[in-house]
Amino acid sequence: MDISEQIKKIRKEKGLSQQDVADKLSMNRVQYNRIETGKSDPTMNILQRIANVLEFNVVEFFEAKNNDTEVHAVNEPLLQKVRLLEELDEVQKNSICNMIDTAIANKRLKQALSNAMSITI
């Protein structure tokens, strides 16, 4: 189950509508819907905020589950670091999430530029 499916499942278990969650996130419902349907990848900051609204541990978004049996394809050292993030205060969490988001954005930009360059050549 991917992150978008997990978010949707947890939201429904909590008896919340997409609008309820979007309002608590100060986000447009359409934007939130794009996250739940997998059309938009949420940043680490958004994932943390969604987890807080759903009263859910953000670490569990990264734990691969299959029929209630953990799949061992998860990068355990990375998962341990994500678990440790929960012990940090909000300012520290936000700082680390911003760094991760920046690194991911840079990687995506480089990939997009590389793809664009290969198309124009």
pTM of the model as a whole: 0.61
The pLDDT > 90 percentage for the chain reads 33
pLDDT in tens, 106-117: 888 888 888 777
* pLDDT attached to residue 24: 96
CATH (domain of 25): 1.10.260.40
Instruction: List the domain range (segments joined by +) for residue 43.
Output: 3-120
pLDDT digit string, tens, across residues 58-106: 877 766 544 444 444 556 777 788 788 888 898 998 898 889 888 888 8
- Residue 93, Cβ density class (10 Å: 0-12 exposed, 13-18 middle, ≥19 buried): middle
pLDDT of residue 36: 93
Count of domains observed in the chain: 1
